[in-house]
């Protein structure tokens, strides 16, 4: 996704198609959202097949829609790509469940993913990152965005206890779910791609849980934890163990690689900001926060209104879908000074890249730690990063990212 709006680009809101994956892949969405925030903060679009959705683009409205589960349910689906298709996992998949069940399950899983808990995995994450970066030490051109897709599973796969031989297959299947119309992932129509991917992932995870049960649990992986933890009145049923493992894999895979490659591209485009961080690596955590705001890989999440609900730009009728554009909220001028400036020293960075409210990203501490370690190691191993070809953007109306980013990285003499 183009991360800096083109100055003075005319925007005709009446003809903008926010559902079109090419808006993120090759358009200039920030120019569109800038105009929407000021002129049409509550925007309605009807697709040619009759499906309707509303869009909110202001920080305040995005927080309201994501945070108010009574007025905006997650139980009819939260992924824009699947607009209008009722969610068969409602009430079973963490992301598609409202409180109070959501609170019970979240509490059961969340204890293993707090900042304090994930700090124990720091060495594992560092080893995975170094293993990931080492092949680039030869100085040749390599595709950072394509390779980065493997990284979250090297980490989440180890944590969940998924055999390494299956990681690559899961990377491909989760890519099919998040970007079914991208040439790298699509298999015929979007619907067919989604159906095949869902079927194969659930088959795989159900089989893994079955085999683990018959071998006897007792291990220390996150999957063992899910299989033994109590949520509410009883243990998590195996069906929910499968769904929640799916949520964790998808949550990690769909976003982390695009955040990392997006920040790398941004550092090349803003060299004076990159120099600041190289000169003072203690800025890496604040650079990561600014990078999360700037790239907003989870570009939007969807909800359905349960009652007629008033937002800043008007009223959303009960029953209709509302898309909360996180990437736009993260550039809202009422919340961020100079929102279209990438500033690694930005203070008070209350971005919503990890969402807001009850569904706030449960993997945020792990994602933050992974990104911090990734940039610590990148700067330690290499003294320069150059782009060596055209970046290829992901064709998705949900996730903003890249499928290809050819780079040349030059290693430090002492490495
Ligand atoms: C930079 C990386 C990441 C970004 C930008 C991101 C973004 C988000 C956002 C915006 C949400 C809110 C969804 C909603 O409101 O419906 C979310 C939820 C979630 N994320 Fe992440 N995520 C990242 C990394 C991860 C990782 C590493 C994991 C797994 C370890 C993960 C697992 C999840 C899960 C399971 C949920 C659902 C939480 C719930 O429904 O309570 N995410 N993420």
- For residue range 6-61, what is the model confidence (pLDDT) as tens digits? 877 888 888 899 999 999 999 999 999 999 999 999 999 999 999 999 999 999 99
Q: State the pLDDT confidence band at 217, using cuts at 50, 70 and 90.
A: low
Domains and CATH numbers, the chain: 13-411 (1.10.630.10)
Q: Tell me, what's the pLDDT at 307?
A: 98
Task: Answer yes or no: are the C-beta atoms of 142 and 409 closer than 8 Å.
Answer: yes
CA 362 to ligand 1 center in whole angstroms: 6
Q: Tell me, what's the pLDDT at 42?
A: 98
Q: State the pLDDT confidence band at 365, using cuts at 50, 70 and 90.
A: very high
Q: Tell me, what's the pLDDT at 236?
A: 92
CA 389 to ligand 1 center in whole angstroms: 31
Q: Tell me, what's the pLDDT at 39?
A: 95
Counting residues of the chain whose pLDDT is more than 90, the rounded percentage is: 75
Q: In the structure, which protein residues have their CB atom closer than 6 angstroms to any atom of ligand 1?
A: 66, 74, 78, 94-95, 106, 156, 247-248, 251-252, 255-256, 259, 297-298, 301, 326, 353-355, 359, 361-363, 366-367
Whole-number mean pLDDT of the chain? 93
Counting residues of the chain whose pLDDT is more than 70, the rounded percentage is: 100
């Amino acid at each position: 996704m183009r991360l800096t709006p083109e100055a003075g680009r005319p925007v005709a809101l009446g003809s903008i198609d926010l559902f079109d994956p090419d808006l993120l892949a090759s358009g200039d969405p920030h120019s569109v959202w800038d105009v929407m925030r000021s002129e049409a903060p509550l925007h309605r679009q009807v697709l040619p097949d009759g499906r309707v959705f509303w869009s909110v683009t202001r920080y305040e409205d995005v927080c309201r829609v994501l945070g108010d589960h009574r007025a905006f349910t997650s139980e009819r689906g939260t992924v824009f790509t699947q607009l209008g298709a009722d969610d068969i996992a409602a009430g079973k998949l963490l992301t598609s469940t409202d409180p109070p069940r959501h609170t019970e399950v979240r509490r059961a899983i969340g204890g293993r993913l707090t900042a304090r808990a994930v700090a124990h995995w720091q060495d594992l994450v560092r080893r995975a990152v170094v293993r990931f970066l080492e092949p680039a030490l030869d100085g040749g051109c390599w595709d950072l965005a394509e390779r980065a897709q493997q990284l979250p599973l090297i980490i989440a796969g180890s944590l969940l206890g998924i055999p390494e031989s299956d990681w690559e297959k899961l990377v491909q299947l989760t890519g099919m779910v998040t970007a079914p119309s991208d040439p790298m992932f699509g298999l015929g129509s979007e619907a067919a791609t989604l159906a095949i991917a869902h079927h194969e992932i659930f088959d795989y995870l159900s089989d893994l849980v079955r085999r683990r049960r018959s071998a006897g649990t007792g291990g220390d992986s996150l999957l063992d934890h899910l299989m033994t933890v109590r949520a509410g009145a009883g243990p998590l049923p195996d069906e929910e163990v499968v769904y929640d493992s799916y949520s964790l894999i998808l949550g990690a895979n769909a976003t982390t690689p695009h955040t990392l490659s997006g920040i790398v591209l941004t550092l090349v485009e803003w060299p004076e900001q990159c120099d600041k961080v190289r000169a003072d690596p203690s800025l890496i955590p604040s650079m990561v926060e600014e990078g999360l705001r700037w790239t907003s890989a989870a570009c939007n999440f969807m909800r359905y209104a349960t009652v007629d609900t008033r937002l800043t730009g008007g009223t959303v009728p009960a029953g209709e879908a509302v898309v909360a554009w996180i990437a736009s909220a993260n550039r809202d001028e009422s919340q961020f000074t100079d929102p279209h400036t990438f500033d690694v020293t930005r203070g008070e960075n209350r971005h919503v890249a990890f969402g807001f409210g009850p569904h706030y990203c449960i993997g945020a501490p792990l994602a933050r730690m992974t990104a911090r370690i990734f940039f610590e190691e990148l700067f330690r191993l290499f003294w320069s990063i150059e782009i060596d070809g055209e970046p290829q953007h992901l064709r998705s109306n949900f996730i903003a990212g890249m499928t290809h980013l050819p780079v040349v990285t030059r290693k430090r003499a002492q490495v």
